[in-house]
Amino acid sequence: MSVYDHGFLYGDGVYETLRVYQGTAFQIDEHIERLFRSAAMIDLSIPKSQGAIKRAVYATLKANRHKEAVVRITLSRGEGPTGLDPALCSSPTFVIMSHLLRPYPEKYYKRGVKIAIVKTRRNYDRALNPQIKSLNFLNNILAGIEARKEGAVEGIMLNYKNFIAEGTVSNVFLIRDGVLCTPAVRAGILDGITRGLIIECAKELHMKVKEGRFRKEDLVAADEVFISNTTMEVMPVSTINDTIISSRPGSITKKLHRTYRKKINEYIKEGGGKR
Q: Give the CATH number for residue 78.
A: 3.30.470.10
Q: Does 149 participate in catalysis according to the annotation?
A: no
Residues 153 and 245 in one domain: yes
Residues 240 and 124 in one domain: yes
Assigned domain for 114 exists: yes
Residues 58 and 187 in one domain: no
Residues 78 and 127 in one domain: no
Residues 95 and 124 in one domain: no
Phi, psi at 122, each rounded to 5°: -65, 145
Number of domains in the chain: 2
Assigned domain for 271 exists: no
Hey, which bits of the chain come out as E strands?
13-21, 24-25, 69-76, 93-100, 113-117, 154-158, 164-167, 171-176, 179-183, 209-212, 224-229, 233-240, 243-244
Assigned domain for 275 exists: no
Residues 120 and 91 in one domain: no
Residues 126 and 194 in one domain: yes
Full residue range of the structural domain in which residue 182 is found: 106-266
Q: CA torsion 78→82→83→89, rounded to 10°?
A: -30
Could you report the average pLDDT of every consecutive run of 10 residues in the chain (275 residues)? 96 98 97 98 95 97 98 98 96 97 96 98 93 96 98 98 98 97 96 97 98 97 97 98 94 98 96 74
Assigned domain for 195 exists: yes
CATH number, position 227: 3.20.10.10
- Distance (Å, rounded) from C-alpha 205 to C-alpha 227? 19
Residues 118 and 34 in one domain: no
pTM given for the model? 0.95
Residues 113 and 49 in one domain: no
Of 52, 84, 100, the position where a domain reaches its end is 100
Residues 246 and 166 in one domain: yes
Asked if residues 253 and 238 have their Cβ atoms less than 8 Å apart, the reply is: no
Among the listed residues 107, 133, 161, 208, the single catalytic one is: 133
Assigned domain for 165 exists: yes
Element (H or E) spanning 256, and its range? Answer: helix 251-269
DSSP state of 79: B
What is the pLDDT at residue 247? Answer: 87
What is the pLDDT at residue 30? Answer: 97
Residues 122 and 251 in one domain: yes
Assigned domain for 203 exists: yes
Of 67, 100, 133, the position where a domain reaches its end is 100
